[in-house]
Amino acid sequence: MSARRALPIVLLAVGVLLIGMLSRNGRSGGAPLDPRSTEPLGARALVLLLERFDASVRVTGELPPEGGTAVLLRDHLGTADSRRLSQWVDRGGRLVVADPLSDFAPAFARASADVFREDPAANGDLTSSGCAVDGLAQVRRLHVPGAAAFRTRSTDTACFAMGTGSFLVARKHGRGTVVAIGGGGGLVNDALDQADNAALAVGLMAPSPGTAVHLLQPSAPGSGQRSLVQLVSRRVKDGLWQLLLAFALFALWRARRLGRPLVEPQPVEIAGSELVVAVGNLLQQGRRRDAAAGMIRSSLRRTLVERLGLPADAPPEALAEVAAGRTGVDRDTVLRALSATVPPDDDALVVLARTVELLRNEVAHAR
């Protein structure tokens, strides 16, 4: 390749490299709601805020001691860790879930079917006349872009109504409590200082000084123990099972044959005479004089046994002796017809067939 042709490719590669370097701008970006990230969507400010109110904050995968608070900003726990966390809550723990897609969160309400798009009318502003959850009595107004609403039960404590659901739901879980919020958009660095978002964070996670707050860190990509099937949300699996059941019912419905049974045409029956002729032609083409002679002798033997009342395994000599006495035919002629000799040619086979036919006629008229 000449230098003139290679120059545009080199310039393109250099331009892509420069764009990549400038886009990073010297900062290491973090995932949304990452407690170590200082990016606008990170959650480093949340950690500093809780520590400001004398909370003992740890970013870890371990569960807090009795009286502490476990926080799931993003639920990337494996099956074993989720079971361990559920047992910890059952024993009296307090769990705060900011991931609306978590299995610990309630189901979505109908008003939040599109949970990934901000409602332009509400603009993320939520209000409440007073929340009955411990530590949230003074929280009146929140700013949570893209908030989702949960369904509530009669036994739940719900705050910040959104249509037919609520943004915040506290539900008993054994002896403990699970408090779910419909999204962590109000806990990121850029939104924590808006409205009463900071008061919500402190009231939920550190209601008293010295509270041990464990931010359960999401697993790094590739470091988890969950399989591909386990990574699929339980609600997605339930929907797939429903689709599979609907398909099975549809297949059963379509598989029914309605109406009277149809009479299918039967195979054409071949006449016995045609079958005999066809077998004879095959034996002639294959020069199977031994097989043809065997069939002729077998037919003669059956006739003699049936007409003369002899056993089926009678020797040829006995058959010839009785046949000669009943019909007057020469004994040696009958014995030659029954002997297992191969005709040397077609003429001998024809002579055998004529002899057998003569014997059959004589036996048929014998008394």
pTM across the whole model: 0.52
Give 220's pLDDT tier (boundaries 50, 70, 90). low
User: DSSP of 107-129, one letter per residue?
Assistant: PBPGGGS-TTS--TTTTTEEE-S
**Is the confidence at residue 236, as pLDDT, over 90?**
no
What's the CA gap between 108 and 123, in Å, rounded?
Answer: 19
pLDDT digits (tens, 9 = 90+) for 120-152: 435 778 888 888 888 888 888 999 988 889 998
Residue 147 in contact with residue 126, Cβ under 8 Å? yes
Contact between residue 124 and residue 147 where contact means Cβ atoms under 8 Å apart: yes
Poorest-pLDDT segment among 6-10, 156-160, 193-197, 290-294 = 6-10
Average pLDDT, the chain: 80
Amino acid at 349: L
Is there a contact between 86 and 173 (Cβ–Cβ < 8 Å)?
yes
pLDDT confidence tier of residue 227, bands split at 50, 70 and 90: low
Look at residue 292 in the predicted model and tell me its pLDDT. 81
With a cut of 60, say whether residue 118 has pLDDT above it. no
pLDDT for 112: 46
Mean pLDDT of 22-31: 54
Report, in angstroms and rounded to the nearest whole number, the Rg of the chain calculated over CA atoms.
48
Tens-place pLDDT, residues 249-289: 888 887 776 677 777 787 777 676 777 777 777 777 777 77
Q: Are strands 141-143 and 157-162 parallel, antiparallel or unpaired?
A: unpaired
Q: Given this model, what pLDDT does residue 116 score? A: 47
Reply yes or no on whether the pLDDT at 209 is more than 50. yes
Q: Are 72 and 216 in contact (CB under 8 A)?
A: yes
> Which residues have a Cβ under 8 Å from the Cβ of 123 and sit 6 or more positions away?
145
pLDDT at 142: 92
Q: Rounded to an integer, what distance in angstroms lies between the CA atom of residue 160 and that of residue 145?
A: 14
Task: Determine the 3-state secondary structure of 181 from DSSP.
Answer: strand
User: Backbone phi, then psi, for 315, in 5-degree steps?
Assistant: -70, 160
Strands 157-162 and 165-173 come out as antiparallel
> Residue 145 and residue 126: Cα distance in Å, rounded?
10
